[in-house]
Amino acid sequence: MTSSTPEPARRTLLTLAATAALAGLPAFTASAAPARPADEPAGRTDARHLLWWRAPGDAHSLIEQGLPVGTGRLGALASNDPGRELLLITDATMWTGGLNDTLDADGQFPYGRDDFGSLTLLARLTVDLPDHDLGSVTGYRRTLDLDRGVVGCTYVQGGATYRREVFASRPDDVIVVHFTQSGGGRYTGTVTLEGTHGEDPAPSFGASFPGGLRYGAAVTAYGSGGRVRVRGDRIDVAGCREFTVVVGGGTNYAPDAAAGYRDPSLDPLELARTKVRDAAAHPAEVLRRTHVADHQALYRRFDLDLGTSTARARGLDTWERVNLRHTGGEPDPELEAAYVHFGRYLMIAGSRGSLPMGLQGLWLDGNDPDWMGDYHTDINLQMNYWMADRTGLSPCFDALTDYCLAQLPAWTDLTHRLFGDPRNRYRNSSGKTAGWTVAISTNPHGGNGWWWHPAGNAWLCNTLFEHYEYTLSRPHLERIHPLLRGAVDFWEARLVTADAPDGTGEVLIADSDWSPEHGPLDAKGITYAQELVWTLFGNYARAAEELGRDHEHAARIARLREKLYLPGVSPKTGWLKEWMSPENLGETTHRHLSPLVGLFPGDRIRPDGSTPKEIVEGATALLTARGTESFGWANAWRALCWARLKNAEKAYQLVVNNLRPSTGGANGTAFNLFDIYQTGPGRGIFQIDANLGTPAAVSEMVLYSRPGHLELLPALPAAWSSAGSVSGLPARGGFTVDLAWRDGEPTSVRIRSTGGRRTTVVHGGTSRTVALKPGESVTLNGFAR
């Protein structure tokens, strides 16, 4: 479809609105009574599943020192200071802006906190226990139990051992802080809930943003052995042997463009009160068991063991291990595996039943996160979700699908109305516009921010399609089909013809564009767009085949795909070209790897003989030139690319670079394992993409897959080779893999079909073909030496 007339677009809008209505209920909504398990399985104390520290978080540095919890929608950072527990709470839908559909003078989108908007805090919860000042307690120990999804701390004072647990329960839709002790201790203090947008402190509050989004939060507390009562704007706790604080909240956001992304019938304040009251009807142990069961249903789908660490590393807390890993220069396989499991913990805590995770997930330390904490569609959002399938958390991927579907009507409308604006330097020179695309930044209210990003639609679709390749879920494919179709329509209207650089005739190239955040602003046929569209068109054809629809259109798209220009190697630089030019038009070590999207996440460039040697060499040379010292997400992407090139040690070096302890805002890993992105001298900010992208890289080092092809241990570094295992590892093509290795060689391999029927399994020089029915599994013995 290449028409720019409004009528078909309006029809599309209606169709899509109907689809979006199926996308999901409002994020904050009444929920059924959860199943309450009678007991809780034994916890795991392996270092890779249990992080611990010897110091609490500083109230003013929670972004680096707070420990995250989240229900998938409602998240918090906890200080775990004995004398003052502080939780900074936000909700994935707590967004200040709106549709933002008035272009700036340059034809691009405004990017401010009022128009485009920003993720922002919902509330601060403080539990003051003045007698428990950190200076007066001993033996302080703080844990993040990844396996149970529980943050906690213990300490001793006056002969009593005090224990605190913080968890965010998706079944009960609240955050719980449970204070217990043994040895005759008592708790006396105050619980205070405060808004962060000028609301009066109160045990519950509700307000709204100028754009109309309503929000609310509520807290309650209950205990035993003493007294808990509301006193004015706070809750007093006096002489309790144990007590529990329950906090909840949310907004009236609805993932529905037709409703303006609001549920007018929803009163967030009332709902928050109801939720905390319902939860508070249960003892904290029951709430915790309910939460742990829910958490482990996801967490325990997968495990990864990269080997045993040295005795001296094992004696240290997590932050000391991060430092020892850096200063000692020796591998710490347990810490490196823990970093993967921490990313998985964040995915479970941050991406369920609501919006997907943007630049910071659910974790903020102020109302104004850098870059709004938004969705960046030119790497960061996609990177966040590479790990979902790769580490056994496919259900967490759905938040991204739901989001794109809910945004599609607005994205389509904005593209139709605004993309062709003559002031937009990226508009189609043909004058025709179809389908949908996005800007570099997007928000949850259908809005775009900053500059148009034409190829963003293709990358989002390819990411959604990859999830189909992992799951072979036909319902998922049906759901995303409108997104694919709209993106294909967009590119059908946008491609222009040009003479092939090698003189082989006419090719199709993308209109003027900016290779993300790099080089010239008006380059035609950028590699980034060519590769993404080539993959998009291929995915569209496969979707048509799987769904048995659109044969003619798919055939036409397949023909267009064959005419797409695909980049070669610059004779000048020896690199795979980023632009249709032999020159290096940008920064050699630029953070983005946009011209390598065909290496990862794409499949066009394969070092297995199926891709021309010079292309692989050109990609390798470009990746080499980009270096190994960059921001966290950029290192993660580099690690993924090196894994695809089977260079285990380079990939490992990049993983390790992200584990460098960050001090003074430097790039690396903070005290709480959050990735820090240095924005200037002495200033760093949290960006979650490296926390999520690095686990994807580790997964790709252990298993490479594409439909019909699995490769075991393609890039296993020496540091992890002596012995290790992975279980529940999904593979593209509809399989999961259990794999153990010793001395770098597989010792046991089990393949289970989750829908896939046939695949080759490769390791070293050995190749096996496996044929299975869905649900069946097979153990392969042929790979052990």
Partner 1 sequence: MGSSSYSVLPARGLRAVVVLAVAAGLATTAPAARADSAPSSPASSTAPAAKPYMGWSSWSMQSSKYPGLNPDGDYSYLTEANVLKQADAMAAKLKKYGYEYVNIDAGWWRDRAWTPEFDGYARQKADPKRFPRGMGAVADDLHAKGLKAGIYLPVGLEKEAYDDGKTPIWNAEGCTTADIVYDDLRTTNGWDSAYKIDFSDPCAQKYVDSQARMFADWGYDFLKLDGVGPGSFKSGDNYDNVADVAAWQKAIAATGRPIHLELSWSLNIGHAADWKKHSQGWRIDTDVECYCNTLVSWENSVDDRWVDLPAWTRHAGPGGWNDLDALDVGNGEMDGLTKAERQSAATLWAIAKSPLYTGDDLTRLDSYGLSLLTNREVIAVNQGDTPPAHLVTASDPQQVWAAKNPDGTYTVALFNLADRPAAVTADFSALGFTGRAAVRDLWNHESLGTHRDGITQALPAHGSRLFTLTPKGAADVSRTGYEAESGGNTLAGSASVADCSACSGGKKVGNLYTGGRLTFNDVVVPAAGTYQVRISYVSGDARPASVSANGNGAVRHTFAATGDWGTVSTATVPVQLKAGANTVTVDSGSDYAPDIDRIDVIRSS
- Residue closer to partner 1 (CB basis): 11 or 60: 60
Of 94-102, 309-317, 605-613, 690-698, the window that binds partner 1 (rule: CB under 8 A) is 309-317
- For the CB of residue 326, give the shortest distance to partner 1 in the complex, in Å: 4
Cβ proximity to partner 1, 663 vs 779, nearer residue: 663
Neighbour tally for 321: CB within 10 Å: 26
Residues constituting the chain: 785
**Closest separation in Å from C-beta 490 to partner 1:** 49
How many chain residues are in contact with partner 1, going by CB under 8 A? 30
Contact 412, 12 (CB under 8 A): yes
Give φ, ψ of 79 to 5 degrees. Answer: -85, -35
Q: Count CB atoms within 10 A of the CB of residue 511.
A: 21
Residue closer to partner 1 (CB basis): 81 or 242:
81
Binding test (CB under 8 A) with partner 1, winner from 317, 421, 478, 738: 317
Question: Residues 257, 101: contact at Cβ < 8 Å?
Answer: no
Query: In this structure, what DSSP letter does residue 467 have?
Result: H
The token pair at 648 is 């285990």
Q: Is 775 exposed, middle or buried (0-12, 13-18, 19+ CB in 10 A)?
A: exposed
Please identify which residue in 57, 171, 249, 714 interacts with partner 1, judged by CB under 8 A: 57
Distance CA 715, CA 654 (A): 13
Q: Which is nearer to partner 1, 212 or 328 (CB)?
A: 328
Rank residues 81 and 115 by Cβ distance to partner 1 and give the closer one. 81
Q: Among residues 61 and 584, whose Cβ is nearest to partner 1? A: 61
φ/ψ of 140, rounded to 5, equals: -65, 135
289 phi/psi in degrees, rounded to 5: -60, -40
Q: Which stretch binds partner 1 (CB under 8 A): 224-232, 318-326, 468-476, 705-713?
A: 318-326
From 397, 410, 479, select the one nearest 443 (Cα to Cα). Answer: 410
Q: Of residues 184, 198, 210, 329, which one binds partner 1 by CB under 8 A?
A: 329
Taking the CA atoms of 341, 342, 345 and 351 in sequence, report the sign of the dihedral they define.
negative
- Report, in this order, helix, strand and coil percent for the chain, each rounded to 5: 35, 25, 40
Adjacency order of strands within the sheet including 204-208: 50-53, 138-145, 150-157, 160-169, 174-182, 242-251, 214-224, 204-208
Return the range that interacts with partner 1 (CB under 8 A); candidates 223-231, 317-325, 481-489, 564-572: 317-325
For helices 380-390 and 456-471, give the axis angle rounded to 10 degrees.
0
Q: SS3 for 380? A: helix
Asked if 330 touches partner 1 (CB under 8 A), the answer is yes
Give the shortest CB-663-to-partner 1 separation in angstroms: 9
Cis status of the peptide bond prior to 661, with omega within 30 of 0: no
The answer to whether residue 326 forms part of the interface with partner 1 (CB under 8 A) is yes
Least distance to partner 1, CB of residue 377, Å: 35
Question: Looking only at residues 156 through 215 of this chain, which bind partner 1 when binding is defined by CB under 8 A?
Answer: 158
CB of 319 to partner 1, least distance (A): 8
Residue 328 binds partner 1, judged by CB under 8 A? yes
Contact between 55 and partner 1 (CB under 8 A)?
yes
Of 53 and 470, the one with the shorter C-beta distance to partner 1 is 53
Q: Which of 33, 105, 138, 198 binds partner 1 (CB under 8 A)?
A: 138
Segment lying near partner 1 (by CB under 8 A), choices 134-142, 347-355, 567-575, 699-707: 134-142
Two tokens at 722?
A: 């002596």
In sequence order, what are the residues at sequence separation of 6 or more whose Cβ sits closer than 8 angstroms to the Cβ of residue 645? 599, 607, 616, 619, 620, 623, 715
Closest CB 153 distance from partner 1, rounded Å:
9
**Interface pick for partner 1 out of 123, 240, 293, 324 (rule CB under 8 A):** 324
Please, are residues 455 and 532 in contact by the beta-carbon 8 Å criterion?
A: yes
The residues that bridge with 178 in the sheet, in sequence order, are 165, 244
Stretch of 23-31, 321-329, 349-357, 411-419 contacting partner 1, by CB under 8 A: 321-329
Q: Does 134 help bind partner 1 (rule: CB under 8 A)? A: yes
* SS (HEC) of 604-639: CCCCCCCCCHHHHHHHHHHHHHHCCCCCHHHHHHHH
Please state, as a whole number, how many other Cβ atoms lie within 10 Å of the Cβ of residue 503.
6
Which of 32, 184, 232, 327 lies at the binding interface for partner 1 (CB under 8 A)?
A: 327
In a 3-state reduction of DSSP, which class is residue 717? coil
Stretch that binds partner 1, among 51-59, 454-462, 467-475, 600-608 (CB under 8 A): 51-59
Residue span binding partner 1 (CB under 8 A) among the ranges 108-116, 133-141, 602-610, 711-719: 133-141
- What is the smallest separation between the CB atom of 201 and partner 1, expressed in angstroms? 23
Considering only the stretches 281-289, 323-331, 423-431, 635-643, report the one whose residues sit in contact with partner 1 under the rule CB under 8 A: 323-331
Tell me the closest approach of the beta carbon of residue 760 to partner 1, in angstroms.
41
How far from chain centre, in Å, is Cα 111?
22
**Chain center to CA of 127:** 30
- Of 187 and 671, which has the nearer Cβ to partner 1? 671
**SS3 state of residue 481:** helix
Interface map 603-642 toward partner 1 (x if CB under 8 A) = ----------------------------------------
Q: Does 81 bind partner 1 (CB under 8 A)?
A: yes
Q: Which of 36, 54, 474, 572 binds partner 1 (CB under 8 A)?
A: 54
CA 364 distance to own-chain centroid: 15
Q: Residue 785 pairs with which residues in a beta bridge?
A: none
Q: Which residues sit at the interface with partner 1, rule CB under 8 A?
A: 53-58, 60-61, 65, 81, 133-140, 155, 158, 310, 312, 317, 323-324, 326-330
